């Protein structure tokens, strides 16, 4: 039984701050051993609150949190023994870097020699081996964040909780740290629950992503599934770029034809992500990178006029106005595209039915 049990399991976890509305709504979630699970969602969707309840800094109003199959409701945060990293590094400014990293070990009454050995190894791991004697104030933001990471990992916790730990860093450093945390996760065999509102960060780092909205998990899956098979309109719009149209199933064909609202009779062929009754309203989502220029790339074909073509370096973004005035965004890889489509020229777009996703319209 113990083996089949996930490391962490949240069951019906519900939270409202006194008097307020539901912030976390009957949340079910499991975290497997060795997994990197990310809670991704817009600001206010309940990610931090969920992490705080796992850490023990907030209490759930209902539901239970099981660690290795046992409720941890009555365990105070320090007894849970989880490594915790938050956005503000919260290093102790009066202690040296080495003393900061040593702190969790000192707290646990570990022998001096063993502390020195582990701190040296932790500082090497984050490539700050020579800087143990410095104060946090003498380090850059990125170096401080690495020290915070070392401090959270030095006592070899079985579970590490991180809440937007890279939010304060500039883009280049953030990307470097993403790869570094990913590497540490793999090399040390850590289990990580990671919070971010940044979808690219979630994609890059995670084994699985839980997309949060309104205190509920909208979808829990690996990054590729989240992107290619979003469970609903919220996920489709929140993750990546998408062309989203409202429409109504027409009931022709096998019932997967959709008449697009506000168009002059445009009908698209799609594949239902969810089973929907005929003549139901649906959201149609087509990723810009799935649309090709010219005829013959699938069951869907529309004619439009090029509004503009924008060079992004790694891709070409083309805006096409189709009948009824709707805009379609097309992303083309730069390889093999010698000349960008000319503004105001007529253009044919086509794509496959399997890339026209029919989703529940709204949450």
Residues that bind ligand ADP (CB under 6 A): 17, 20, 23, 41, 43-49
Please report how close the Cβ of residue 21 comes to ligand ADP at its closest, in angstroms.
8
- State which residue, 103 or 234, has the beta carbon closest to Mg ion: 234
Cα separation, 77 vs 96, whole angstroms: 25
Residue with tokens 């991704």: 40
Please report how close the Cβ of residue 160 comes to ligand ADP at its closest, in angstroms.
17
Burial of 325 (0-12, 13-18, 19+ CB in 10 A): exposed
Q: Which does 356 bind (CB under 5 to 8 A by kind): ligand ADP, Mg ion, none?
A: none
- State which residue, 18 or 254, has the beta carbon closest to ligand ADP: 18
- State which residue, 20 or 109, has the beta carbon closest to ligand ADP: 20
Q: Which does 17 bind (CB under 5 to 8 A by kind): ligand ADP, Mg ion, none?
A: ligand ADP
Per CB under 5 A, 50 contacts Mg ion: no
Binder to Mg ion among 8, 36, 41, 48 (CB under 5 A)? 48
Q: Which does 130 bind (CB under 5 to 8 A by kind): ligand ADP, Mg ion, none?
A: none
Segment (H or E) for 143: helix 141-153
Could you tell me the two tokens for 224?
């590729």
Please report how close the Cβ of residue 14 comes to Mg ion at its closest, in angstroms.
18
Name, in order, each residue with C-beta under 8 angstroms of 124's C-beta and a sequence gap of 6 or more. none
Please report how close the Cβ of residue 41 comes to Mg ion at its closest, in angstroms.
9
**3-state secondary structure at position 161:** strand
Burial of 278 (0-12, 13-18, 19+ CB in 10 A): exposed
Among residues 248, 313, 314, 255, the alpha carbon closest in space to that of 281 is found at 248
Q: Which does 336 bind (CB under 5 to 8 A by kind): ligand ADP, Mg ion, none?
A: none
Which positions touch Mg ion (CB under 5 A)? 48
């Amino acid at each position: 039984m113990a083996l089949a049990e996930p490391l962490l399991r949240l069951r019906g976890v519900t939270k409202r701050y006194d008097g307020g509305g539901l912030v976390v709504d009957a949340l079910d979630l499991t975290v497997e051993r060795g997994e990197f699970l990310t809670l991704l969602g817009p600001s206010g969707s309940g990610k931090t609150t969920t992490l705080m309840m796992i850490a023990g800094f907030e209490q759930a109003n209902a539901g239970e949190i099981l660690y290795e199959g046992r409720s941890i409701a009555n365990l105070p945060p320090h007894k849970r023994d989880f490594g915790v990293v938050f956005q503000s590094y919260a290093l102790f400014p009066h202690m040296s870097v080495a003393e900061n990293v040593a702190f969790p070990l000192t707290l646990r009454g570990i022998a001096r020699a063993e502390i020195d050995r582990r701190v040296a190894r932790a500082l090497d791991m984050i490539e700050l081996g020579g800087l143990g004697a410095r104060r946090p104030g003498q380090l850059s933001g990125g170096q401080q964040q690495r020290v915070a990471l070392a401090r959270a990992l030095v006592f070899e916790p079985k579970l590490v909780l991180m809440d937007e730990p890279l939010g304060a860093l500039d883009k280049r450093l953030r990307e470097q740290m993403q790869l570094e945390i990913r590497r540490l996760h793999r090399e040390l065999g850590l289990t990580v629950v990671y919070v971010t509102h940044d979808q690219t960060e979630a994609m890059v780092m995670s084994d699985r992503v839980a997309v949060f909205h309104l205190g509920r998990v909208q979808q829990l899956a690996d990054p590729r599934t989240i992107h290619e098979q979003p469970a609903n309109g919220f996920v489709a719009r929140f993750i990546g770029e998408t062309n989203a149209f409202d429409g109504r199933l027409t009931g022709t064909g096998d019932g997967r034809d959709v008449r697009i609202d506000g168009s002059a009779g445009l009908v698209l062929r799609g594949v239902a992500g969810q089973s929907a009754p005929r003549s139901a309203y649906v959201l149609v989502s087509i990723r810009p990178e799935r649309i090709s220029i010219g005829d013959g790339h699938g069951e869907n074909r529309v004619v439009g006029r090029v509004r503009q073509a924008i060079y992004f370096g790694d891709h070409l973004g083309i805006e096409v106005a189709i009948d009824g005035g709707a805009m379609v965004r097309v992303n083309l890889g730069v390889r093999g595209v010698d000349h960008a489509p000319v503004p105001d020229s007529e253009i044919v777009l086509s794509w496959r039915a399997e890339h026209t996703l029919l989703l529940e319209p709204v949450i």
